[in-house]
Amino acid sequence: MRQIVLDTETTGLVPSQGHRIIEIGCIEIVNRRLTGREFHRLVNPERDIDEGAERVHGISRADLANQPRFAEVADELLDFIRGGELVIHNAEFDVGFLEHELKLMSHPQPLISTHALVLDTLALARQMHPGQRNSLDALCKRYAVDASKRELHGALIDAELLARVYLAMTGGQAAFSLNAEDGNGVASDEQSAARPRRTDVKFVVITASEEERAAHEAILKRMPVRGQ
**Residues with a known catalytic role:** 153
d(CA 222, CA 215): 11
d(CA 49, CA 68): 16
Please give the helix or strand (H or E) that residue 85 lies within, else none.
Answer: strand 85-88
DSSP 33-65: EEEEEEEEEE---SS---HHHHHHH---TGGGT
Q: How big is the chain by its Cα radius of gyration, in Å?
A: 24
d(CA 75, CA 149): 31
Phi, psi values for residue 22, rounded to 5° = -120, -15
